[in-house]
Structures are given as structure tokens and as C-alpha cells.
Amino acid sequence: MSDTLISVSHLTHEFAAHRTMFGASHATIRAVNDVSFDIARGETLALVGESGCGKTTTGRAILRLIEPTSGHVTFDGIDVLALQREPLRKLRRRMQVVFQDPHTSLDPRMRVGRTVREGIEAHELAEGAEADARVARALEEVGLRASDAAKLPHEFSGGQRQRIAIARALAVEPEFVVLDEAVSALDVTVQAQVLALLMQLQRDRGLTYLFIAHNLAVVERIATRVAVMYLGRIVEIAAAATLYASPQHGYTRALLSAVPVPDPRVKKKRIVWDGT
Amino acid sequence: MKFAAAVLVLFVVVAVAAPAIAPHDPRATPQSETQKNLPPSGAHPFGTDQYSRDVLSRVIYGARVSLGVAVVAVMLALTLGAAVGAVAGYVGGWTDTICMRFVDAVLSVPRVLLLLVLVASTGPLTVGGIIVLLGCTGWPGTSRLVRGEVRLLKERDYVLASRATGTPEWRVFVSHVLPGLVPQLLVTGTLALATVIPLEAGLSFLGLGVQPPTASWGNIISDAAERPGDTWWVVLFPGLAIVCTVLAVNTIGERLRERMDPRERPRT
């Protein structure tokens, strides 16, 4: 089926909780437990769950920024987990990531232009003046100025930094982007702006997103489908409209009840999920 | 800090400009008996030694040798230490274990003892040989520090982000990890200088370091007469040079360390 871009099946990742003197682990924590889902080309799958539920680990395992314990990930028919070093590096041009905290995801010593340029050079997409032009275009596309390339990250606000991180990811013209809590560290108005930018870029370029978030409200506008994750497992996966209208799983209902309503007169009943 | 820097600059200038400012040839040994063991005077402000040589000129030329040996040896030690530490910390796994156990083994032998054993087995060394010896015994401590720093740096989000864009691993290391090591190497290097200067002086004093007639601060002292108390000036002036340099270098190193370490930054 050519419509599916990413296919994840039975993905499991265990962390060693404790190691013996000889490096063998006797206790493990299963951060990601038998997770399966597909993402169709051009859609946004939102992966939602509380902190520590394994959603970031899932995103990183798909990109092989960590090596999952078991499972399969295919990207456009390519077995991602079986790739050797160099083919994997080449594939990275097609799948990119934007991290949560733009204060730690940009090298404080590196000028913005060089940061954005890194991927362009790594994949030999352009060099010299043409690479400069690409960097300028990438910055302008995310709403920054071409002249910002000469600045250091600390000269920017949080929202602008996140735009730089988006420019870095998009400079190599990927098809798929993991947005790992990409707007969670931003305040609400900036969040809306960055979200709008991400949706604009998706329309323009036909991007496919895996949007990781801990808040169902944030993903409501952008998600095509939503997967709810709890303690390493996906407890519910449904089209966004269906999920918001009639959540099936108790944990999803609890998450929905935690969404704040911006009206002080509305008294909401908060559902507390007890794990049953 | 400013005073320490001034002292250090003074010594460096003296070392570089030695031929221009030394009043006498540091190796000249006038045959006349009357020039031997003279106390400080107008003609010889630091006096003369038992071979009738001008101590001031020897201290000035000694600065060249002592500082030169120390600086080059420290740079060698830093390079080796940074290389081993960076590889161990970045690659991890068995490479790390093997490197670090080797470092532990080297560090378990006191450095002075190691140096004495090595010199005793090789015999008198050239200046180049001493540099290599001091450099090759000085890297394990540095490699430990660098390893720790690399292990911290490689977990940073921006390193992960750079890898995620598809940047080759060596380039991730060179552009994002290595620049982060510079402050630490600067501090470590400065503090290492303060241990290498007395080490070289000690070896030279024992006759195992820089060989006469080349002057180094350490071997000038050993050229005092049979009873150093009688010719105190031959011991005092090179000794003061060593103490002042080490104090200055140490002060600068400590200040740099405080400035680099946010936990020790004075609250304003």
C-alpha cells in the first residue's frame, strides 16, 4: 500500500533500571510496550499521553536516535531498524525531528546559519552561495529574516528558537517530521503561531507529521488521527473527530477532562483516571 | 588575578627576550678563581655560582628552558589526554572500559616515582626527551576529566538534533562536542602547568632532567657550592622564580575554573 508512509509494529523499548558490576541488567523498565500504528502520507498522527508514558521514546526509536529492543519500523517500504550506519544517515534526510526545548536543541556556540546549513552539507544538497541561499530561504519560510543566520541562538526568544529548529529540520526537504512536544515549551499565543506555521508548511509541502504532545487541546487543530498512550501502550487510536466526540477509553476521557476551558463560569467535572 | 597575570607576563617576556636582557653569557666560565661563589653585587646582582657563572643570566635563560619545557609538555599531555578521554567518552562500551582501566593503572603509580624509574632506565635525556616524558606521564588525569565532560556533552539535545539531521558522526563530534571541551582544557592545562614546572625543576635538580651546562631553574640550584647555606643566592633566586611562576599560574588557573563553573560563580 503506497498510502502508508510509516509503519510501526510491536515496537518495544526497555531501559535497564539497574546494572550489575559486569553490565548485565537485572531489572528493566518497559518504556514502550508493543506499540503498533501506521501513518499515512500527508496526515498528522498525534501521539498523546502524560509525561513518562513512552511517547518521546517511541518517536526517537522510529528515527533510530535510540535503538529499540524489538519491533519493526518501515519508512516508505524501507526497514529502518535493519539499516547500516551510512544508509541510515542518508535516510535521515527524509525523516526529521523538532525537539521540545528550543533552549537545549540549538548549539549555543553555533551561529544559526551554520546550524541550518549542517543538514544541507551533510546530504550534499548544495554548497557555497547556493547553500547560503537555501539557508536564507529556510529561515524566511519559518518567518525569520535571512540576516538572522549570522546570530547566535541566545539572541532569540523561545518561539523564534523553535522556528530555527523547524528551519533546520525542513532545510533538507524531508517527507516526515517527528514533532516531539514541539510547542509544549512555548506560551499559549506563541504556541498558536508555531502551530499555524507547522500546518502551513504541511499544506505547502505535503509533509507527514508524528505530533507528540501531552495535551489533547494542543493537537485538536492539527491532528488527523490521535493515538493515546498510557504506561508504554497505545490504549486508543482513532480519527481526531471521533476521539474528541466519543472517547472510548477511560484514560482518554480523563485526558479530555483535563483540558482547560477558558471560561471561569464553566464548572467542569474532572475525571481522575485510576487505571482500571 | 591581574597581579598574577602581570607576574606571568613578566616571566614570559624575560624568557623570550633572554638574549637581549641577560647581562652575561649563562654558560661562560671565567677561569679566574676570584669570580667563584661571589655574593650579589652591582656586577652580578644575583651573584655567581661555583663555576663562576652569572646567576642572573642563568635564571633568565633558565626561564626559557623551564617555561618552554613545561608549556610544550602540557600541550602534549592535553592532546593525548583529550584524545583518549574523548574516544572513551564518546564511543563508550568496551573501548571506554579498557581506556579507563589503563588510566587507573597509570594513575595508581605516583607520577614522580614513574618519572624517576623511566629516567633511570633511559639515562640522561635531551630537552626534547624530557618534554616527551613529562607529556606522556601527564595525560591520564586530563583524559578522565575530558571523558566525563564528553559524556555530558554527547547527551545534549543539540548533539542529538545534529545527528538526526544526518550529519556524519565525526562531524557531530567535531562541531558540537569538541568546542564544548575548550573551557575545561584551558583550565586543566593551566593547572597542569603549575604541577609540571616544579616537576621539571625537581628532576633537573636531581640531575635527571635538563643537563648542564644548559640552565634550567632546577639545575641552577644544584650548582650551589657543597654547602648551599654558604652560597644562598644560588638557591634563592631560581627558587623564587619557581615559586612565583607556580603561584601565578595556579591563581590564574583557579580564577579560570571559578569563572567556567557556574556553581562557583559569585552571586551579585
Nearest to B90 by CA among B192, B188, B176: B176
| Strand A4-19 to A78-79 pairing | unpaired
Q: Does A97 lie at the interface with B, CB-CB under 8 angstroms?
A: yes
CB distance A118–B158 less than 8 Å?
no
CB distance A89–B166 less than 8 Å?
yes
**B102 with B190: CB under 8 angstroms?**
no
DSSP 8-state class, residue A81: G
Q: Looking at per-residue confidence, does A254 or B244 come out higher? A: B244
Say how far apart CA A55 and CA A53 lie, in whole Å: 6
CB distance B166–A101 less than 8 Å?
no
Q: Is the pLDDT of residue B263 over 70?
A: no
Q: What is the DSSP string of B160-184?
A: HHHHHTT--HHHHIIIIIHHHHHHH
pLDDT digits (tens, 9 = 90+) for B48-80: 777 778 888 888 888 989 999 999 999 999 999
Segment among A217-231, B11-25, B140-154 with least mean pLDDT: B11-25
CA–CA min distance B164, chain A (Å): 6
Under the banding of pLDDT at 50, 70 and 90, the label for residue B214 is confident
Domains and CATH numbers, chain A: 1-94+176-194+209-276 (3.40.50.300), 103-173 (no CATH)
Amino acid B265: pLDDT? 47
End-to-end CA distance of chain B: 19
Tell me what the mean pLDDT of segment A227-234 comes to. Answer: 90
Half-sphere exposure (CA, 13 Å, Cβ side) for A156?
A: 26
- Residue ranges of alpha helices (H) inside chain A are 55-62, 85-91, 112-122, 128-141, 158-170, 188-205, 216-219, 240-245, 250-257
| Strand A44-48 to A95-98 pairing | unpaired
Tell me what the mean pLDDT of segment B101-111 comes to. Answer: 90
CA–CA min distance A2, chain B (Å): 25
Q: Does A118 lie at the interface with B, CB-CB under 8 angstroms?
A: yes
ipTM computed for the complex = 0.86
For residue B40, say if its preceding peptide bond is cis, omega within 30 degrees of 0.
Answer: no
Say how far apart CA A171 and CA B164 lie, in whole Å: 13
**A112 with A149: CB under 8 angstroms?**
yes
Q: Is the pLDDT of residue A99 over 50?
A: yes
Q: Which of A 165-194 lie inside 8 A of B, CB atoms?
A: 165, 168-169, 172
| Strand A4-19 to A70-75 pairing | antiparallel
Say how far apart CA A210 and CA A167 lie, in whole Å: 17
Amino acid B267: pLDDT? 45
Tell me what the mean pLDDT of segment A174-181 comes to. Answer: 94
List phi, psi (to 5°) of A234: -90, 120
Q: What is the DSSP string of A101-115?
A: -TTTSS-TTS-HHHH
Nearest to B176 by CA among B186, B167, B185: B167
Closest residue of A to B170, CA-based?
A122
Under the banding of pLDDT at 50, 70 and 90, the label for residue B235 is confident
Nearest to B179 by CA among A115, A60, A68: A115
Average pLDDT, whole number, for chain A?
88
Partner residue facing A92 (CB), from B157, B166, B179: B166
CATH superfamily of B44-264: MetI-like (1.10.3720.10)
Amino acid B268: pLDDT? 42
Amino acid A187: pLDDT? 86
Amino acid A24: pLDDT? 63
Q: Is the pLDDT of residue A258 over 90?
A: no
Closest residue of B to A91, CA-based?
B166
Tell me how crowded residue A209 is: count the other CB atoms within 10 A of its CB: 25
pLDDT digits (tens, 9 = 90+) for A115-154: 999 999 999 888 889 999 999 999 999 999 999 999 999 9
Nearest to B74 by CA among B190, B180, B184: B190
